[in-house]
Chain A
Amino acid sequence: MSLGVKSKRVLTRVLQAIPTIFGILVVCFILTRALPGDPAAYFAGDMADAESIEQVRENLGLDQPMPMQFVTYVGDLLQGDLGVAISTGQTVTQELAKRLPASLELTLGALLLALIIAVPLGVLAATRPNSWVDHLCRFLVTAGVSLPTFFTGLALLYVFYYLLGWAPPPMGRLDMMFLPPEPITGFYTIDSVIAGDWALLKASLAQMALPLITLALFTLAPIARMTRAAMLQTLASDYVRTARAAGLSRRRVLITYAFRNALLPVITTLGMVFSFVLGANVLVEKVFAWPGIGSFAVEALVVSDYAAVQGFVLSMALLFVALNLLIDVTYTLIDPRVGEDS
């Protein structure tokens, strides 16, 4: 297969994301309009009379028909204007820019940690059925699936912070004693490495450890389970038997023949797992007072802060679309059969 065909396929896939994004805009717009509560009344304050509420409604453009409101909304969006968050008084764009890296650092970190543990664990469990590795894998999978994140989070806090005192207090991304590093990526760990401040790196890692483990334990369950199942399947396949009969080394059979094929369903699962983690993030951020967008969104929702909720839903959806796109593209690059009707 030529490179041209592949890049064309990748491009097609990217273009296919555009209608999805538009659909998200529409749904997100309608959903927030369907929320109970009148933002005009909220904005006007407790003392306002009917007339001033009407005034505020006009100022906010809420008296316009829905399609017009949507056009205005999309127009503002194109200029990067997501509106103002009532609760904090800052623009939503600013809020998100400040909080998104915090959430992403946690989410991606947890995903990475989960992958590093779950994939080898799944592979080992599949190659040694009913060994201690297999049982460990089963235990972790069951624990990860059955324990809710807020419980694991609190349990970890109780043991490692309250009882043992190994972990720092769950007070956000950094201990009070430190100043955040110069924001380049917005990830404290990476920024502190760039700044060469190792004490800062250590402090931020210490803060991140418990929420990261909480999320990773939850995330690794489906990945380990899928890896194990996929490996069992490929190991029993005809082509692995052929490879063994041809005398290929164990390493080659396991990695090139079995694992690479097993990777395909695992990659697909990753997309799903990512959405779980985004959801779980909200709870974990609450437990560890992590200043991410999850906790921001919960607060905004409580006071029916339109713009903030919309901004949150939109950024989450875009993130999700982007990651799924990345997964699809990876899949296209690994599997030569994609796009061919067999």
Chain B
Amino acid sequence: MTPPLLDIQRLSVDFATRRGTVRAIDSISLSVAKGETLGIVGESGSGKSVTSYAVMNILDRAGKIAGGKISYGGMSMHKISERDMRDIRGREISMIFQNPRAALNPIRKVGQQIADVLVQHNQATRSTARDKAIEMLLAVKIKDAEKRFEAYPFELSGGMCQRVVIAMALACKPQLLIADEPTTGLDVTTQKAVMDLISELTARFNMSTILITHDLGLAAAYCDRLVVMEKGHVVEQNTSQALFNAPQKAYTKQLLNATPHRDSYVRDLLTPEQQAQALALPASTEPGAALLSVKSLKKEFGKPGSGNHHIAVRDLSFDIRKGESLGLVGESGCGKSTTSSMIMRLLDTTEGSIEFLGQDIAAIPAKQFARHALRGKLQMVFQDPTDSLNPRWSAERSIADPLLRLSPDMTDADRQARILELATLVGLPVELLNRFPHQLSGGQKARVGIARAVAMEPELLILDEPTAALDVSVQAVVLNLLEDLKHRLGMSYLFISHDLNVVRLLCDRIIVMQQGEIVEEGHAHEIMDAPKTDYTRSLLAAIPHPPAPDASASETTALVQDGAS
């Protein structure tokens, strides 16, 4: 057997923090063969990114390799000088990062950034760099490459920026590509395009790939072998198929469980212990009268005829009935966030009516709605649980905020009692109420956001990608919490997301939006099983479906290809 391209033996990395040394990864061993695609899967804090930084020797100042060996093609990476390391980076091993827009220098032309890499590694001279960079832009399928060479990152979409980052990484035809969450924050369709591009190019150049992700489904769809990491340890490693069919360790099983797939119900995501504690869901509920009725809603930005004129939402009509959950699905830029902002009355409408509890609220100017009587009945849970909390407010203060603003007559004792009640309702340990956002975990912050939203007993809750920033196991718990609350409090949901698989778990009906219009509307199972439009089909096809634990891997591939046709 040929030696592996990259071999990591008992690697440990320590970080010096104010509270002393923290071991981020502890004695892990893994290897990548030539031409192989390895997936490293784990939740935040598992040490998966730190592993890759250690390989590239680009750890922060605080981090240092505490033990173990990294060898690449027979070289001991942890021993070589920084100068030699620089020649290896970009030329032998290169890396793609998450958040592509931030990963590019904002004030340098993207083509120039690719050219920098080419010139650095003597793949081009100053005179040929431009042509070679354009060649790379073409290789990553950027149209109009000649013109795009001159573009700055802010002028490109997230997907485009990621293509540029890929072009930078592959410019010198390295042997090993490390992709660190390359599609986090991108739409499902863009995710598929980017992942397909990476696998196509790495296959063409006969490169090895390490894909670091929190998404088991994505890793399974693109990798030969998977390594599951938890808290700095390798839990399990096996071929993708074997890992899915016969997970050995409890953590892997839990992770597999929590990853939503086509046939799972919201309760299936929980561990057996959690399921035992969960509320029994009614078999089916019949939705009541219309709660929210949106008619011919339209939103224009800029003046017609001017350069920045843009119609974000055109002629949108839909109803949400009492006790119903409606999913609003579409790619970024389809107008779903504009729609939610208009319903929340954060944004004025151009045309159309929004009837909520029998009153047309579209006529109320956005600035005045904050003091409107109906404001308490309409609440929102935001996408980023960290950024949507005031960093200087304790959890208690955040939850108290709507109570203070919308029912100022409440006595302090009543408010205190209500906060405790809310914390219990969302499963936030009462002793955490005094903590500030930075002292809470992602899931705990999400609970604070939800408690704040339900404080005024709203009729309608708008959920704007509430789990997009959370780990799968936390997502599973939060989704279940939302399902419980809906039945306990009799709320209706408007669930906004780009991920059909997640929306399906909570919603009875789904609306698919594209370019400000509804392209398809129907029951969740209709949309999932028998989509009528090509757009919905492409959205479905883009979701990387992990195989059901008993199904064989070949069926999964067939499914994905089916949908793509």
CA distance A264 to B106 in the complex (A): 12
A242 adjacent to B97 (CB under 8 Å): yes
- Which of A90-98, A214-222, A249-257 sits within the interface? A249-257
A146 at the interface (CB under 8 A from B): no
Q: Does A156 reach chain B (CB closer than 8 Å)?
A: no
Known A-B contacts A238-B99, A242-B165; A247 and B86 likewise in contact (beta carbons under 8 Å): yes
* B105/A239 in contact, CB under 8 A: yes
Partner-contacting stretch, out of A21-29, A178-186, A334-342: A334-342
Interface contact B120-A247, CB-CB below 8 Å: yes
- CB pair A337 B116 closer than 8 Å: no
> Are A247 and B105 in touch, CB under 8 angstroms?
no
Q: Is the CB of A241 within 8 A of B97?
A: yes
Contact B90 A248 (CB under 8 A): yes
Nearest A residue to B118 by beta-carbon distance?
A246
Structural contact, B103 and A242, CB atoms closer than 8 A: yes
Kindly identify, within residues 80 to 96 of chain B, every residue whose CB is under 8 Å from any CB belonging to chain A: 86-91, 94-95
**Is A245 at the interface (CB under 8 A from chain B)?**
yes
Contact B89 A239 (CB under 8 A): no
B12 CB → nearest A CB, Å: 22
Q: Which A202-254 residues sit within 8 Å CB-CB of chain B?
A: 237-239, 241-250, 252
Question: Does any Cβ of A come within 8 Å of B102's Cβ?
Answer: yes
Residue total for A at the interface (Cβ-Cβ under 8 A): 28
A238 — which chain B residues lie within 8 A by C-beta?
97, 99, 102-103
Q: Does B472 contact A (CB under 8 A)?
A: no
B168 touches which of A242, A252, A257, A264 (Cβ 8 Å): A242
Residues of B within 8 A of A247 (CB): 86-91, 94, 117, 120-121
Nearest neighbor of B112 in chain A, beta-carbon distance: A256
Chain B residues whose C-beta falls within 8 Å of the C-beta of A33 in the assembled complex: none
State whether A261 and B105 are in contact (beta carbons under 8 Å apart), knowing that A242-B165, A252-B120, A336-B154 are contacts in the complex.
Answer: yes
Q: Is B413's beta carbon under 8 Å from chain A?
A: no
Shortest CB distance B136–A (Å): 12
> Is B104 part of the binding interface, using a Cβ–Cβ cutoff of 8 Å?
yes
| Bound CA–CA A292/B86 (angstroms) | 54
Q: Is B1 an interface residue (CB 8 A)?
A: no
Contact A260 B107 (CB under 8 A): yes
Q: Which residue of the partner chain B has the closest CB to A130?
A: B61
Q: Are A244 and B58 in contact (CB under 8 A)?
A: yes
C-alpha gap A89/B168 in the complex (Å): 70
A246 to B120, CA, bound (A): 9
A165 on the interface (CB 8 Å rule)?
no
- Specify which of B86, B103, B150 is in contact with A239 (CB 8 Å cutoff): B103
**Of A245, A256, A260, which is within 8 A of B94 by CB?**
A245
Q: B117 — nearest CB in chain A belongs to which residue?
A: A246
Beta-carbon contact of B94 and A246 below 8 Å: yes
Contacts of A250 in B (CB 8 A): 86
B169 at the interface (CB under 8 A from A): yes
Q: Which of A243, A245, A334 contacts B105 (CB 8 A)?
A: A243
Q: What 1/0 mask marks residues of chain B from 304 to 316 whose CB sits below 8 Å from any chain A CB?
A: 0000100000000
- Bound CA–CA A238/B89 (angstroms): 16
In the bound complex, do residue B105 and residue A257 qualify as a contact, i.e. CB atoms below 8 Å apart? yes
Q: Is the CB of B104 within 8 A of A337?
A: no
Q: What CA separation (Å) do A250 and B106 show in the bound complex? A: 19
Given the complex of chains A and B, what is the CA–CA distance between A51 and B324 in angstroms?
Answer: 90
In the complex, what's the smallest C-beta–C-beta distance from B158 to chain A, in angstroms? 12
Are the C-beta atoms of B154 and A342 separated by less than 8 Å? yes
- Contact partners of B56 in chain A: CB under 8 A: 245
Tell me if B152 counts as interface (CB < 8 A to partner A). yes
Closest partner residue, chain A, to B165 (CB atom): A242
B126 is an interface residue with CB less than 8 A from chain A: no
B108 on interface, CB distance cutoff 8 Å: yes
Residues B107 and A245 in contact, CB atoms below 8 Å apart: no
CB distance from B330 to the nearest CB of A (A): 21
For residue B61, which residue of chain A has the nearest CB? A129
Other-chain contact of B117, A248, A335, A342 (Cβ < 8 Å): A248
Residue from B99, B107, B121, B154 with most neighbouring chain A CB atoms (10 Å): B107
Closest to A258 in B: B105
Within 8 A of A (CB), among B286-300: none
Q: Are the C-beta atoms of A337 and B106 separated by less than 8 Å?
A: yes
CB nearest to B86 among chain A residues: A247
In the bound assembly, the distance between CA atoms of A239 and B99 in angstroms comes to 10
Quick check: B169 and A246 within 8 Å, CB to CB? Answer: yes
Most buried by B among A248, A256, A341, A342: A248
A205→B117 CA distance, assembly (Å): 46
A248 proximity list for chain B (CB < 8 A): 86, 90, 116-117, 120
A257–B103 Cα distance when bound, in Å, is 11
Interface residues of B in 363-405 (CB under 8 A from A): none
A291-342 CB contacts (< 8 Å) to partner B: 334-337, 340-342
Contacts of B104 in A (CB 8 A): 239, 242
**Which of B87, B90, B150, B155 has a CB less than 8 Å from the CB of A245?**
B90
Q: Which residue of A lies closest to B102 (CB)?
A: A238
A293 to B197, CA, bound (A): 66
State the Cβ distance, B124 to closest chain A Cβ, in Å: 14
Instruction: Please measure, in the bound complex, the distance between the C-alpha atom of A126 and the C-alpha atom of B388, giving whole angstroms.
Output: 31
With A246-B169, A247-B88, A247-B120 already in contact, the answer to whether A241 and B103 are too (CB < 8 A) is yes
Q: In the assembled complex, how far is the CB of residue A17 from the closest CB belonging to chain B, in whole angstroms?
A: 25
Q: How far is the CA of A243 from the CA of B117 in the complex (A)?
A: 8
Q: In the complex, which residues of chain A have a beta carbon less than 8 angstroms from the beta carbon of B105? A: 239, 243, 256-257, 261
Indicate whether A261 sits within 8 Å of B103 (C-beta atoms), given known contacts A247-B117, A248-B117: no
Write the B146-165 contact mask toward A (1 if CB under 8 angstroms, else 0).
Answer: 00001010110000000001
In the assembly, what is the distance between CA of A242 and CA of B121, in Å? Answer: 15
Expressed in whole angstroms, the minimum distance between the Cβ of B349 and any Cβ of chain A is 21
Q: What is the CA–CA distance of A342 and B157 in the complex, to the nearest angstrom?
A: 11
Contact in complex: A336, B107 (CB < 8 Å)? yes
B100 to A: closest C-beta gap in Å? 9
B106 touches which of A239, A241, A243 (Cβ 8 Å) = A239
The answer to whether A249 and B120 touch (CB under 8 A), given A238-B103, A241-B103, A261-B105, is yes
How long is the Cα–Cα vector from A241 to B154 in the complex, in angstroms? 18
**How far, in Å, is B271 (CB) from chain A's closest CB?**
35
Chain A residues within an 8 Å CB radius of B152: 1, 336-337
Question: What residues of B have a CB within 8 angstroms of the CB of A245 in the complex?
Answer: 56, 58, 89-90, 94-95, 97
Residue of A nearest to B120 (CB): A248
Minimum Cβ distance to chain B for residue A267 (Å): 12
CA distance A342 to B58 in the complex (A): 30
Contact yes or no, B168 A246, CB < 8 A: yes
Contact B107 A246 (CB under 8 A): no
Question: Closest CB-CB distance, A167 to chain B, in whole Å?
Answer: 43
Q: Are B107 and A335 in contact (CB under 8 A)?
A: yes
Complex CA gap A247/B89 in Å reads: 4
Task: Tell me whether A246 and B97 are in contact (CB under 8 A).
Answer: no
Instruction: Tell me the residues in window 511-562 of chain B with beta carbons closer than 8 Å to chain A beta carbons.
Output: none
Shortest CB distance B174–A (Å): 9
Return chain B residues, CB-CB under 8 Å to A246. Answer: 89-90, 94-95, 116-117, 120, 168-169
Name 5 extra pairs, CB < 8 A, besides A243-B116, A245-B90, A248-B86.
A242-B95, A245-B97, A246-B168, A256-B116, A337-B107
Q: Which residues on A are within 8 Å of B, measured CB to CB?
A: 1, 129, 237-239, 241-250, 252, 256-257, 260-261, 264, 334-337, 340-342
Return the 8 tightest CB-CB contacts between A and B, nearest first: A247-B90, A247-B89, A246-B90, A238-B102, A245-B95, A336-B152, A242-B103, A239-B105
Please list 8 pairs of residues, one from A and one from B, whose beta carbons are closer than 8 Å in the complex, sorted by A's number.
Answer: A238-B99, A239-B102, A246-B90, A249-B86, A260-B108, A337-B106, A340-B154, A342-B154
